[in-house]
Amino acid sequence: MSTSTANELPACVTRDNLTGPYFPNTSQATLYAVIALCAIFALTSFNRLNHTDLWGHINFGHWIAQHRALPTADPFSAHPGTRPMLHSAWLAQLIGHEVQQWFGNEGLVFGHALLMTAIAGVLMWAVVCRGAPPRWAWAAGAAMFVLDLPIHGTIRPQLFGQLGAALFLLAAAQLPTRRHPLIWIPIVAALWANLHGSILMGIAILGAFAVGMTWNLLVEHQWNLGRALRDARFARAWLALVLALAASCINPHGPLLLVKTIFFGDNTALSSISEWQATRFSSLTGMLLLASLAATVALVKLSPRKWELFEILILAVFALATFSAIRMLAWWALAWPVVAVPHAAAAWQAWRERNQLPEQAPDEPTSMRTLMAMGVVFMTALLAPPSFALVSGQGRGDGPSMVSETPLYLADEVARRGLTGNIAVPMDWADYLVWKTDGRLKPLVYSHVHLADPAAWEDHKRLFTGDPKWLALLDAHQMKYVAASRQRSPELAKAVLLDSRGDNPRVRILYQDQRCLLAEVLPAEKAK
Amino acid sequence: MVSGERQLNRESQIQNPNSAVTMLVRLSRIFLPPLVVVAALLAYRLAFVSAGSDLIRPVRREPWTITARYDEPRVVTDEQLAAVLDRVKPPAKPLKTNNMVHALRLWGVAADFHDPKVPTGRQMREYLLDDRAFRQFAGDETPPLFYRDKDGLAVRSFDDALTNRDTSSYHADDLLATLAEVGTSLDTPMHLRDGEATVGQLLNDSLSRFHLDRLEYEWAVISYARYVFPEKQFSNKFGDRINVNLLVDEVITPALGLGPCNGLHRLEALAVLLRADEQAHALRPDTKRKILAFMKRVSDLLTQSQTSAGYWTRQWPQGPAAATPAKGEEGDVYDRILVTGHQLEWLALAPESVQPPRETMVRAGQWLARTLLELDQKDLEAAYGPYTHAARSLALWRNQDPYQAWLRGRSASVSLVPNSSNR
Confidence grade of residue B423 (pLDDT, cut at 50, 70, 90): very low
Give the closest-approach CA distance of A259 to chain B in angstroms: 44
Distances (CA, A) of B211 to A416, B169, B243: 15, 18, 11
User: What is the pLDDT at residue A1?
Assistant: 40
In contact, A317 and A200? CB cutoff 8 Å: no
Helix, strand and coil percent figures for chain B, each rounded to 5 = 60, 5, 35
Percent of chain B with pLDDT over 70: 92
User: What is the pLDDT at residue A142?
Assistant: 97
Distances (CA, A) of B85 to B107, B392, B423: 9, 8, 20
Q: Cis peptide before A134, with omega less than 30 degrees from 0?
A: no
Mean pLDDT for chain B overall: 91
Q: Does B414 touch chain A (CB under 8 A)?
A: no
In contact, B270 and B294? CB cutoff 8 Å: yes
pTM, rounded to two decimals: 0.88
Q: Which residue of A has its CA nearest to B151?
A: A416
User: What is the pLDDT at residue B404?
Assistant: 96
Q: What is the DSSP string of B13-68?
A: HHHSTTSHHHHHHHHHHHHHHHHHHHHHHHHHHHHHPPPP-SS---S-SSPPP---
Q: What is the mean pLDDT of residues B347-360?
A: 97
Distances (CA, A) of B302 to B253, B313, B318, B357, B372: 19, 10, 9, 10, 21
Q: Does A399 touch chain B (CB under 8 A)?
A: yes
Going by their DSSP bridges, the two strands B233-235 and B195-198 should be labelled as: unpaired
Instruction: Answer yes or no: is the ipTM higher than 0.95.
Output: no
Confidence grade of residue B328 (pLDDT, cut at 50, 70, 90): confident
DSSP state of B91: P
- For the segment B245-270, what is each residue's pLDDT rounded down to a tens digit? 999 999 999 999 999 999 999 999 99
CB nearest A391 (choices: B30, B45, B214): B45
Distances (CA, A) of A183 to A172, A189, A191, A527: 13, 11, 14, 68
Q: Which residue of A has its CA nearest to B53?
A: A394
In contact, A497 and A517? CB cutoff 8 Å: yes
| B contacts of A368 (beta carbons < 8 Å) | none
User: What is the pLDDT at residue B420?
Assistant: 40
Q: Indicate if the pLDDT at residue B416 is higher than 70.
A: no
Q: What is the mean pLDDT of each run of 10 residues along chain A (528 residues)?
A: 53 66 92 98 96 92 96 91 88 97 95 97 98 96 96 91 98 96 98 96 97 96 94 96 97 92 70 73 91 97 96 96 90 97 97 90 90 97 96 91 95 94 96 96 91 89 94 95 96 95 92 95 72
Of A410, A432, A428, A396, which is closest to residue A481 (Cα–Cα)? Answer: A410
Higher pLDDT, A36 or B159: A36
Q: Does B309 touch chain A (CB under 8 A)?
A: no
Going by their DSSP bridges, the two strands B146-149 and B233-235 should be labelled as: unpaired
Of B389, B397, B255, which is closest to residue B316 (Cα–Cα)? Answer: B255
| A contacts of B213 (beta carbons < 8 Å) | 409, 513-515
Going by their DSSP bridges, the two strands A516-521 and A481-485 should be labelled as: antiparallel
CB nearest B37 (choices: A21, A377, A509): A377
Q: What CA–CA distance (Å, rounded) separates A485 from B18?
A: 70
- Cβ pairs A/B, distance under 8 A: 81
Q: Which of residues 263-292 of A touch B (CB under 8 A)?
A: none
Q: Do A392 and B41 touch (CB under 8 A)?
A: no
In contact, A172 and A201? CB cutoff 8 Å: no
User: Mutating which of A371, A390, A409 best tests the B interface, going by the most B Cβ atoms within 10 A?
Assistant: A409
Q: What CA–CA distance (Å, rounded) separates B140 from A264?
A: 61
Of A190, A162, A202, A161, which is closest to residue A249 (Cα–Cα)? Answer: A190
Please list the residues that pair with A521 across neighbouring strands: A507
- For the segment B112-128, what is each residue's pLDDT rounded down to a tens digit? 999 999 999 999 999 99
Q: Indicate if the pLDDT at residue B2 is higher than 70.
A: no
Q: Does B376 touch chain A (CB under 8 A)?
A: no
Q: What is the mean pLDDT of residues B17-26?
A: 82
User: What is the pLDDT at residue B378?
Assistant: 86
User: What is the pLDDT at residue B4?
Assistant: 60
User: Mutating which of B9, B41, B210, B214 best tests the A interface, going by the most A Cβ atoms within 10 A?
Assistant: B41
Q: What is the DSSP string of A98-164?
A: HHHHHHHHHHHHHHHHHHHHHHHHHHHHHHHHTT--GGGHHHHHHHHHHHTTTTTT---THHHHHHH
DSSP state of B214: B
Amino acid at A502: G
User: What is the pLDDT at residue B414?
Assistant: 60
> Would you tell me how many other CB atoms lie within 10 Å of the CB of residue A94?
21
Give the closest-approach CA distance of B220 to chain A in angstroms: 15
Which range, of A126-135, A329-338, B16-25, B129-138, averages the lowest pLDDT? B16-25
User: What is the pLDDT at residue B422?
Assistant: 37
Which range, of A22-36, A452-466, B48-62, B73-87, averages the lowest pLDDT? B48-62
User: What is the pLDDT at residue A2?
Assistant: 43
Q: Indicate if the pLDDT at residue B418 is higher than 50.
A: no
Burial grade of B132 (CB within 10 A; 0-12, 13-18, 19 or more)? exposed
Which range, of A392-396, B138-142, B350-354, B390-394, averages the lowest pLDDT? A392-396
Distances (CA, A) of A51 to A235, A273, A405, A434: 46, 15, 6, 12
